[in-house]
Amino acid sequence: MGRPPGEPGRVAYLYLLPAFVVYAVFLLYPIGRAVQISLYDWDGLTLGRWVGLDNYAAILSDERLRAGFGHALVLIVFYAVIPLAIGLTLAAILNHAQVRGLGFFRTVVFLPQVVAMVVVAVAWRRVYAPDGTLNALLGALGLDGLTRGWLGDHTFALPAVGVVGTWFESGLVTVLLLAGMSRVPAELYEAARLDGAGAVREFFAVTLPSVRGEIAVALTLTVIAALRTFDLVYVTTRGGPGESTSVPSFEVYHRAFGLGQVGSAAAIGVTLTVVIFAISFAINRLADKGTT
Amino acid sequence: MIMGRSPRGPRTSAVLAAGVLTLAATACAPGSSAPPAPSPAKTAASAVRTDAGALGDVTLTVWDQEVRGGQAAQMKQLNAAFEAKYPNIRLKRVSRSFDDLNTTLRLALSGNEPPDVVEANNGRSSMGQFVKAGQLLPLDAYADRYGWKTRYPDSVLRYSRYSADGKVFGDGNLYGLPQVGEVVGVFYNRAKLTKLGLEPPKTWADFQAALEKAKAGGEVPMQLGNLDKWPAIHVFGTVQGRHVPADQISTLAFGRKGASWTTPENVKAVEELVGWVDKGYFEQGFNGQGYDPAWQAFGKGKGVFLIAGTWLLADLDKALGKDLGFMLPPGAAAGAPPVTTGGTGLPFAITAKSPHPDAAAAYIDFITNADAMKVLTSTGNLPVADTAQQTVQAGPQQDVFTAFGAATKENGLVPYLDYATPTFADTLGAALQDLLAKKATPKEFLDTLEKDYKTFAESNG
């Protein structure tokens, strides 16, 4: 293959070098080191003992960890799927309605993203408390039968944590989609209208395909957030009641700093990274397939 | 992080992957940069020096977690007094919150220049692992010279004892010395008891009758917030202490072979606790209530009893004043020897690599001697030794001092149950949430505990 004249060849790599060095030192090396540690039985203090893939085998056979990964998958529904549905609806309405003060709405919807997750978690912990806002609200509506200690209830703790995620991520998704929708040329809508499409038809025929890229970005971001949930669980339930809200990231922290099982913690971390990588890859593949 | 969409040839990826793998394979084993110190030899009592003033110029680095209120005050006062008494020793103090200290200490200790004196958590996953890694100095020689073993009750010192290989907890070398004590007991609201026509209960049967009467009187009999997983451990420990012999509890809680969770006595204790849930002695939704909101509610007059540790004394005293009372969990008969969960604050230990162990030991002695205990009392802490000799105002503080003094004098302290195995805090906390929510039967609950305990005790040898 001929190269355009004057185009520098290998020397281009030299320009990449500084960035690559930073990338290698702060990302590749730690990842490699984590992979390495995950192959040892190491308490973080004494000399590690090589155990090969034993830590990974233990992850597969550990019922509690498998449950943790299961909980993370449930959280994907709350962090990614529901916010996407909410975001699409809200953005479609906001985009069409030509509301006054759109900027204001955008800010309000986006606000949860600005607040640190720990603060969010502390606030929601109060909302969910037995004498908290949610139960007071239910009581005021005459629904006393439904009140409970939400975060301490084996059935409702995980959904309760998930709803916080929904609240947190919906704004981000909405703003992303809104940006995408505002780029759809008005002529497309006009053409759809002339062809006799209603609002719903128009949404599925014009809006949805146009924001495919934004959906992929939104899903990637929120799915990753769901899978690596740590602070929310750490502050609200610490994995309880029982083990009903345990998640892999919490387990990484717990094993590395609480139990001193650094090798096992690294193995969970690496596994989680692989899972996140695979899911994000799949999402982007699917989105790309649609556009080309 | 969003993945790059740029097409990357399979070759580049392969090179990257190979790079990462090579790195993983060639880098040296984790922990090899800080080879374990050879297990520090025991020094004879005659070989240590206690003349701190003659040790020459020394700088001691001290890591502590005394950051709150009265804790911070006593540390500041004692440090200043120490430096005034020994001008040749300079203190470099680093204080961090409990959680921060816990997460950073591990790294600091494995470095080549660790701090000289550190406050290390007693449990197996902290002090136990540090001992195993040869990072802490056995203090027995100093204990003999300074007379720590006579001033401190044995039931207190054992919380800082490990065998040299770190396997046996509660016995063996002494690795640290604590300043303060803690004991789990029953806080009560005196005004509410009077209103219900009750006296502070003298026996366990009286106590349960009082709970029943409080329930009938429309009060919350017992305040509990168990969202944080561990608070119910103290309630369970209290009930267990009424039914299971103290030596069995100690064996279980130190994770040693020779006891069992599935004994009839344990079953009885668990059934009694579940009975409290059935009878509505706790508020609805207690598994979803935080620990802090729960004791704060008790401080605001909601609840007749609260089973908790003496660490809540200062705050509850402020909230309830003379309405607050504290007692050790009553025994089967009035005047029965006390049995209750209790222990010490974090012990101060000396690192094996410290170049100034004599100065470090002099410092530890200084912050735990008889004068220091007075300073601890005056700053609102519960001194771990000489507790009965302190004079405090009548009221809840005196109740606490009397209770702790009685419990240590008669060796009535049993260890925190979560000391048992490195994973036991989690196992027990989660299992109790399941039990109290009726997601597990008493038998399933005890089987879960037995499995964790047996697995560890067998493998630990």
Q: What is the CATH number of the domain that holds A70?
A: 1.10.3720.10
Q: Check whether residue B207 and residue B158 sit in a common domain.
A: no
Q: Check whether residue B313 and residue B352 sit in a common domain.
A: no
Q: Please report whether residue B147 resides in a domain.
A: yes
Is the peptide bond prior to A241 cis by the omega test (within 30 degrees of 0)? yes
Q: Check whether residue B199 and residue B249 sit in a common domain.
A: yes
* Local structure of residue B379 (DSSP, 8 states): T
Is residue B88 a contact partner of residue B55, using CB atoms and an 8 Å limit?
Answer: yes
pLDDT of residue B1: 34
Question: Does pLDDT of A64 surpass 80?
Answer: yes
How far is it, in rounded angstroms, from Cα B106 to Cα B2?
34
Question: Does pLDDT of A6 surpass 80?
Answer: no
Q: Check whether residue B137 and residue B238 sit in a common domain.
A: no
Tell me which amino acid residue B275 is: G
Place of tokens 């009893």: B305
Distances (CA, A) of A219 to A207, A269, A274, B346: 17, 21, 17, 46
Give the domain range for residue B164.
47-180+345-385
Q: Please report whether residue B236 resides in a domain.
A: yes
Please provide residue A168's backbone torsions phi and psi, each rounded to the nearest 5 degrees. -75, -40
CB-CB under 8 Å, B106 with A284? no
Q: Please report whether residue B85 resides in a domain.
A: yes
* Local structure of residue B51 (DSSP, 8 states): -
DSSP β-ladder status, B413-414 and B340-344: parallel
CB-CB under 8 Å, A45 with B431? no
CB-CB under 8 Å, B288 with A150? yes
Task: Identify the helix (H) or strand (E) that includes residue A253.
Answer: helix A248-253
Helix extents (H) in B332-441: 357-366, 370-378, 396-409, 424-436
Residue B428: closest C-alpha in chain A: A242
Is residue B128 a contact partner of residue B168, using CB atoms and an 8 Å limit?
Answer: no
Q: What is the pLDDT of residues B206-231, one digit of tens each?
A: 999 999 999 999 999 999 999 988 99
Q: Please report whether residue A140 resides in a domain.
A: yes
How far is it, in rounded angstroms, from Cα B309 to Cα B234?
8
Token digits of residue B457: 């005790």
Residue A50: closest C-alpha in chain B: B29
Q: Check whether residue B131 and residue B250 sit in a common domain.
A: no
Residues whose CB falls within 8 Å of the CB of residue A264, separated by 6 or more in sequence, listed in order: A38, A41, A55, A58, A59, A255
Tell me which amino acid residue A289 is: K
Closest by Cβ to A149, choosing from B16, B103, B289: B289
Q: Please report whether residue A8 resides in a domain.
A: no
CB-CB under 8 Å, A131 with B29? no
Q: Check whether residue B98 and residue B192 sit in a common domain.
A: no
pLDDT of residue A107: 87
Q: What is the CATH number of the domain that holds B283?
A: 3.40.190.10
Q: Count how many domains chain A has.
A: 1
Please provide residue B402's backbone torsions phi and psi, each rounded to the nearest 5 degrees. -60, -45
pLDDT of residue B261: 97
Q: Pick from A1-15, A84-98, B351-365 the range whose average pLDDT is largest.
A: B351-365
Give the domain range for residue A48.
21-291
Is residue B220 a contact partner of residue B303, using CB atoms and an 8 Å limit?
Answer: yes
DSSP β-ladder status, B181-189 and B324-327: antiparallel
With a cut of 50, which residues of chain B have pLDDT below it? 1-10, 24, 35-36, 38
Q: Check whether residue B172 and residue B303 sit in a common domain.
A: no
Q: What is the pLDDT of residues A123-174, one digit of tens each?
A: 999 999 998 999 999 999 988 888 889 999 999 999 999 999 999 999 999 9
* Local structure of residue B3 (DSSP, 8 states): P
How far is it, in rounded angstroms, from Cα A268 to Cα A246?
13
Is residue B129 a contact partner of residue B214, using CB atoms and an 8 Å limit?
Answer: no
**Does the CB of A210 have a partner CB in chain B at under 8 Å?**
no
Residues whose CB falls within 8 Å of the CB of residue A155, separated by 6 or more in sequence, listed in order: none
Q: Check whether residue B170 and residue B194 sit in a common domain.
A: no
Q: Is B93 helix (H, G, I), strand (E, B) or coil?
A: strand
**Does the CB of A79 have a partner CB in chain B at under 8 Å?**
no
Q: Please report whether residue A200 resides in a domain.
A: yes
ipTM: 0.83
Q: pLDDT category, A5, cuts 50, 70, 90?
A: low
Closest by Cβ to B130, choosing from A45, A220, A239: A45
For residue A32, give how far its alpha carbon lies from the nearest alpha carbon of chain B (Å). 5
Q: Please report whether residue B13 resides in a domain.
A: no
Closest by Cβ to A43, choosing from B103, B129, B429: B129
Distances (CA, A) of A161 to A170, B289, B343, B363, B413: 15, 15, 35, 47, 39
The closest of A169, A190, A176 to A120, measured between CA atoms, is A169
Question: Does pLDDT of A104 surpass 90?
Answer: no
Residue A51: closest C-alpha in chain B: B29
Q: Please report whether residue A12 resides in a domain.
A: no
Q: Check whether residue B203 and residue B330 sit in a common domain.
A: yes
Q: Check whether residue B89 and residue B227 sit in a common domain.
A: no
Neighbours of B292 (CB within 10 A): 13
Is residue B347 a contact partner of residue B64, using CB atoms and an 8 Å limit?
Answer: no
Is residue B320 a contact partner of residue B189, using CB atoms and an 8 Å limit?
Answer: yes
Q: Which residues on adjacent β-strands are paired with residue B344?
A: B181
Q: Check whether residue B189 and residue B138 sit in a common domain.
A: no
Q: Check whether residue B102 and residue B188 sit in a common domain.
A: no
pLDDT of residue A259: 83
Q: ∠B78-B81-B83 over CA atoms, to 5°?
A: 110
Is residue B304 a contact partner of residue B192, using CB atoms and an 8 Å limit?
Answer: yes
Q: Please report whether residue B211 resides in a domain.
A: yes
Q: Count how many domains chain B has.
A: 2
